[in-house]
Every structure is written in structure tokens, then in C-alpha cells.
């Protein structure tokens, strides 16, 4: 396996791999180590079927079902992220987020396989939240150290739900769940259990406020943080090709699906995995 970084901060392309073949224990270890270091891995020309996709996810953790976008039997853990050519609404994941951070136990990573991609556009951006923590001004670090942030499932609930015409994956994604509006508390800063790198754990899609502060009081601080955490120096941008696979660390990154390919269909197959729990990343 060759590992080629794709920016100075985040992401690496792996080559010399055929993930359709059984994955040896040595390769499993090498894949986990590469993810711990680079946070986003890209492997082109894999064309994995659902069973192979699942086996790859299991290298990193147990695949979990997304209750708001479950897959069809026999693979409920596989969300099909589909945007039809004539769908003028938002895209699934079309805002900076970490997957399902409003869960009590969010997944610590995801595997996304490209099944059909537009001839241009439909890229995915990733931002390194370890670099964002390292680059954060000291007074903001002090505010966040040891503090919890409150996350809610805005798009899936009632209180903050976007208007129907802006919703992505209408019909295949479940909405209006009052439980998604329930506040969940997670540490603002997570520590990677293997590398000990600290990372900001927040995102504009689901993070509502700081513990001990109202939404209004939190707004200026969160806005400054959201701007800081997604600056270009912390980011990479993946250009998809059919058969490509991306794997990411959901506790150390944010990502953003770019909505710029109206007129073309895009279909991806996604698993989220639970290897580490959030408490494994919270030694304090
Ligand atoms: C997601 O947020 O997982 C979707 C990413 C994408 O479709 O590019």
C-alpha cells in the first residue's frame, strides 16, 4: 500500500490496494493507522459491492443504522445518498457537519462509496478539526477546554426543521422526530485515543449552544468557531470518480457535500461505524 498525502493538513490517497479481496490483519492495522494519521483516506477504482463495503467498514468498527436514513433490507446500515438530476432541493450533507453528532453515541467514522457521479461537481470537502484546535486563539481555547457543547438534530426534528422545499432526500429520509430536538451534551474538545491529538468537536448543522449559555449568548462564539474551523488551510476537497471509496474520522473532521451539479444524478452508498465511543475520546 502506498500512502500519498493530498494536502499539507488532511487526507491521503491509498494506492496498490484491491479491497474486493479479503483484508489481512496486517492490512487492517495499516488502514487504521493511516486513518489515525491522515483522518480522510481515498482509494480509487474499488467498485465495492454492499457486502465488500460492509467488510471494509468492519475494519474500523461496527456499522450502525442511521434511523433517519436507513438502507433497504438486507443492508439497513447502508444509507444510499441519492440526488436525482431534477432535484432542485438541498443535498444530503450539504452543510458543514460531523455525522450524527446529536446522537448520545455518534459514529466515529464513515465509509462512502461512489456508485454514480456527475461529470463535474458533487465534490466533498473535509476539514481537519485537530489542526483547527491547534490553530485556535488561546482565549477561545480557554472557553472551550473542559466545556460541553449542546447538539440537536435540527434537520430531523420539528423545532429547527428547514422548510420542506429545502430538504434533501425527501421521501427516503425520516423527519419530524421530536426526539431529534432533544439536547445532547458532548465535550467541545476530544482527544484521539491513539495519537492523543486534540480536536474541536462542533459543527454548524447540529451544534446549538455552549453549556451554561443560551443560544443567543452562544451565537457570536459559535459563528467565530465555525468560520475558524472550516478555513481553507484545514481542508481538502475530494473529486469523486465511480468506484472510489473515502473513509473518514468523524471525531476529528467536519465535511460538506457541495451542491453544484443540478441536471445530473449522483448516488453514493454510506456506512457509519462505531469503533470508539465518544468517551474513549474524552479522557478528562
Ligand atoms: C455525507 O454527509 O455523508 C454525504 C457526503 C457526500 O455525499 O458527499
Q: How far is the CA of 154 from the centre of ligand 1 (A)?
A: 17
Atom number, ligand 1, closest to the C-alpha of residue 270: 3
Residues 98-115 pLDDT 10s: 999 999 999 999 999 999
Query: Residue 234 has what pLDDT?
Result: 98
- Residues forming the active site: 97, 99, 255, 270
Q: Determine the average pLDDT of the residues in 226-253.
A: 98
Q: Determine the average pLDDT of the residues in 114-129.
A: 98
Query: Residue 103 has what pLDDT?
Result: 96
Query: Residue 178 has what pLDDT?
Result: 85
| 122 touches 112 (CB < 8 A) | no
Query: Residue 170 has what pLDDT?
Result: 61
| Cell representation of residue 89 | 432541493
Residue located via cell numbers 427516503: 172
Atom number, ligand 1, closest to the C-alpha of residue 79: 3
Torsion, CA 105, CA 109, CA 113, CA 116, rounded to 10: 60
Q: At 63, phi and psi to the nearest 5?
A: -60, 140
**Burial environment of residue 250 by CB neighbours within 10 A (0 to 12, 13 to 18, 19 or more):** buried
Query: Residue 156 has what pLDDT?
Result: 86
Supply the residue whose CA is at minimum distance from atom 3 of ligand 1.
93
The CATH architecture one would assign to domain 2-275 is 4-Layer Sandwich (3.60)
User: Cα–Cα distances in Å, from 42 out to 18, 54, 99, 195?
Assistant: 13, 17, 18, 20
pTM: 0.95
Residue 168 has pLDDT above 80, yes or no: no
Residue located via cell numbers 475520546: 281
**Count of residues in the chain:** 284
Atom number, ligand 1, closest to the C-alpha of residue 123: 8
Mutate to test the pocket of ligand 1, among 117, 245, 270 (most ligand atoms within 8 A of CB): 270
Amino acid at each position: 500500500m502506498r500512502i500519498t498525502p493530498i494536502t499539507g493538513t488532511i487526507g491521503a490517497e491509498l494506492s496498490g490496494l484491491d479491497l474486493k479481496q479479503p483484508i489481512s490483519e496486517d492490512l487492517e492495522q495499516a488502514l487504521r493507522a493511516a486513518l489515525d494519521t491522515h483522518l480522510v483516506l481515498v482509494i480509487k477504482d474499488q467498485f465495492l459491492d454492499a457486502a465488500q463495503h460492509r467488510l471494509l467498514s468492519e475494519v474500523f468498527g461496527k456499522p450502525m443504522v442511521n434511523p433517519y436514513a436507513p438502507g433497504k433490507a438486507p443492508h439497513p446500515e447502508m444509507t444510499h445518498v441519492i440526488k436525482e438530476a431534477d432535484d432542485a432541493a438541498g443535498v444530503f450533507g450539504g452543510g458543514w457537519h460531523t455525522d450524527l453528532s446529536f446522537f448520545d453515541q455518534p459514529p466515529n467514522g464513515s465509509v462512502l462509496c461512489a456508485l454514480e457521479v456527475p461529470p463535474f461537481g458533487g465534490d466533498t470537502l473535509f476539514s481537519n478539526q485537530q489542526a483547527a484546535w491547534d490553530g485556535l486563539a488561546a482565549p477561545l481555547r480557554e472557553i472551550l477546554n473542559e466545556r460541553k457543547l449542546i447538539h440537536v438534530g435540527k434537520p430531523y426534528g420539528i423545532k429547527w426543521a428547514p422548510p420542506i422545499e429545502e430538504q434533501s432526500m425527501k421521501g427516503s429520509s425520516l423527519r419530524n422526530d421530536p426526539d431529534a430536538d432533544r439536547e445532547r451534551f458532548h465535550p467541545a474538545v476530544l482527544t484521539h485515543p491513539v495519537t492523543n491529538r486534540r480536536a474541536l468537536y462542533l459543527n454548524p448543522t447540529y451544534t446549538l449552544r455552549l453549556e451554561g449559555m443560551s443560544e443567543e449568548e452562544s451565537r457570536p462564539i459559535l459563528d467565530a468557531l465555525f468560520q475558524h474551523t472550516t478555513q481553507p488551510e484545514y481542508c481538502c476537497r475530494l473529486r469523486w470518480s465511480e468506484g472510489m471509496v473515502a473513509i473518514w474520522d468523524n471525531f476529528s473532521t467536519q465535511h460538506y457535500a457541495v451542491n453544484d451539479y443540478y441536471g445530473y444524478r449522483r448516488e453514493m452508498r454510506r456506512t457509519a461505524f462505531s469503533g470508539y465511543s465518544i468517551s474513549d475520546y474524552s479522557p478528562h
